[in-house]
């Protein structure tokens, strides 16, 4: 299990209020602040399917995710106001989109035909998870427009596997930040259970 050391810095912009805060709370000031994080990450070829970065607020979870999984970190996608969410998965076949939505616990066909903007926070969260899984580790997410059949955009066969089982090659890695920021823990737990079930059955 490799150890990763991460150092991040940002400048401190001096001002009257900054000086006041420093004096009130005994905050040492410098030209810049520095944070260092040391973490151990499992190798991709180790026997694991689901990983979790844990820690209190401000402990560097997002920084670690961005630094260690930059290419795979899902950064959101456009959801057009005039399209149903079911139409926002690019070239993926309908059956595969349904499997993705079901895998994240969003099993409501009446909601699938609605635009993303009118859904509840929990439903939006599930849609974002489905898009992330459908992108198969592509941090840009699937496009609402057809991607075409270019080899640069799709793997052999023209379909991106959503939850590919571990076989002769590594399954796609999907990294999702702020997992419990927009929903409560019960919703996040339900989504996690649904995704875990899908991964373990190789859906």
Average pLDDT value for residue range 124-146: 71
Same domain, 92 and 173: yes
Structure tokens at 158: 């023209």
Same domain, 126 and 103: yes
Please say if the pLDDT value at position 117 is more than 90.
Answer: yes
Same domain, 52 and 9: yes
Higher pLDDT, 34 or 139: 34
| pLDDT at residue 48, rounded to an integer | 81
Q: How many domains does the chain have?
A: 2
| pLDDT at residue 169, rounded to an integer | 60
With a CB cutoff of 8 Å and minimum separation 6, the contacts of 83 are 115, 144
Yes or no: say if 132 and 74 are a contact pair by the CB < 8 Å rule: yes
DSSP 69: S
Tell me which of 70, 104, 130 is where a domain ends: 70
Percent of the chain with pLDDT over 70: 82
Same domain, 34 and 133: no
Same domain, 155 and 181: yes
- Residue reference for tokens 């000031």: 29
Q: The domain containing residue 47 runs over which residues?
A: 1-70
Tell me which of 70, 95, 116 is where a domain ends: 70
Query: Can you tell me the distance from the alpha carbon of 136 to that of 142, in angstroms, rounded to the nearest whole number?
Result: 9
Same domain, 100 and 5: no
DSSP 175: B
Same domain, 79 and 162: yes
Taking the CB of residue 199, how many other CB atoms lie within 10 A of it? 19
Tell me which of 42, 70, 98 is where a domain ends: 70
Q: What angle in degrees, to the nearest 10, is found between the helix axes of 121-135 and 185-200?
A: 30
Average pLDDT value for residue range 71-79: 84
Q: What is the dihedral angle through the alpha carbons of 68, 144, 194, 176, rounded to the nearest 10 degrees?
A: 20
Q: Which of 116, 81, 79, 86 is nearest to 102 (CA)?
A: 86
For residue 80, give the 3-state DSSP assignment.
coil
């Amino acid at each position: 299990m490799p150890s990763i050391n991460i150092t991040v810095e940002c400048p401190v912009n001096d001002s009257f209020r900054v000086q006041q805060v420093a004096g009130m709370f005994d905050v040492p000031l410098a030209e810049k602040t520095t944070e260092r994080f040391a973490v151990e990450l499992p190798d991709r070829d180790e026997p694991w399917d689901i990983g979790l970065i844990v820690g209190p607020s401000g402990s560097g979870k997002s920084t670690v995710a961005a630094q260690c999984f930059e290419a795979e970190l899902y950064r959101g996608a456009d959801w057009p106001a005039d399209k149903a969410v079911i139409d926002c998965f690019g070239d993926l076949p309908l059956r595969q989109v349904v499997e993705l939505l079901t895998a994240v616990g969003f099993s409501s066909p009446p909601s699938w035909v609605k635009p993303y903007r009118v859904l509840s926070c929990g439903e939006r969260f599930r849609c974002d998870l489905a898009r992330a899984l459908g992108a198969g580790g592509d941090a840009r997410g699937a496009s609402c427009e057809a991607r075409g059949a270019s080899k640069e955009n799709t793997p052999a066969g023209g379909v991106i596997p959503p939850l590919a089982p571990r076989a002769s090659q590594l399954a796609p890695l999907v990294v999702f930040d702020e997992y419990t920021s927009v929903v409560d823990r019960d919703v996040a737990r339900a989504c996690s259970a649904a995704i875990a079930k899908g991964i373990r059955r190789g859906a």
